[in-house]
Amino acid sequence: DVKVTQSSRYLVKRTGEKVFLECVQDMDHENMFWYRQDPGLGLRLIYFSYDVKMKEKGDIPEGYSVSREKKERFSLILESASTNQTSMYLCASSLSGSNYGYTFGSGTRLTVV
Amino acid sequence: GESVGLHLPTLSVQEGDNSIINCAYSNSASDYFIWYKQESGKGPQFIIDIRSNMDKRQGQRVTVLLNKTVKHLSLQIAATQPGDSAVYFCAENITGRRALTFGSGTRLQVQP
């Protein structure tokens, strides 16, 4: 009964590559979020979306973009991957108007070499 | 600025003991707090939450305490079990902000 699915558990990409991280939720949630998780820094918000085709920058959007063409799918794009983007990426979703009850995916561990 | 931080990065306890994980926050506009548990290889999972108009909330073996005077949040786990070994995050909802703000996490290690 997986509810938030991140397409890849592990990814290894080369510096300069364009990278797509995919997230799909089946709970009909309006809000979707991308966080990155680094040791000692916790979860930091990259981008979020509160509706289809809507997006807002989080705290660390530089070097990233997002796409939300369908309600259930929220993609994180690294335009030109760099080694400092090596991290664990977590996708989450929640109901509209609510920061309650985030459901997280299992994460994608991205290594940029 | 806004921040949610933890006092201890790693906490080691004996099985059967009680665990207390602490969290400090700095934004007085925070109106809701959540504790998440993240096991190895998994995403964070909701444990318990508390609104700012409460001081205490209890769940199954877990209790969250909120002290708004000193902007401090704690998670108490009773009779800690090996399955409680994980990283624990506190998160706050700052009024007017559209996304949760997370702390840096505490790793709980339960010794048999």
Mutate to test the interface with B, among A99, A104, A106, A108 (most CBs of B within 10 A): A99
Distance from CA of B14 to the nearest CA of A (A): 24
Return per-residue pLDDT of chain A as tens, 113 residues.
669 999 899 999 999 999 999 999 999 999 999 999 988 888 999 999 999 999 999 999 999 999 999 999 999 999 999 999 999 999 999 987 666 779 999 999 999 99
Contact with chain B for residue A48, Cβ under 8 A: yes
List Cβ neighbours of B83 (8 Å cut-off, separation of 6 or more).
none
**Contact (CB, 8 A) for A14 and A81:** yes
pLDDT at B104: 86
CA separation (Å) from A82 to A36, A74, B88? 14, 21, 29
B30: DSSP letter: E
Label residue B59 by pLDDT band (50, 70, 90).
Answer: very high
Name the residue among A36, A31, A103 with its Cα closest to residue A72: A31
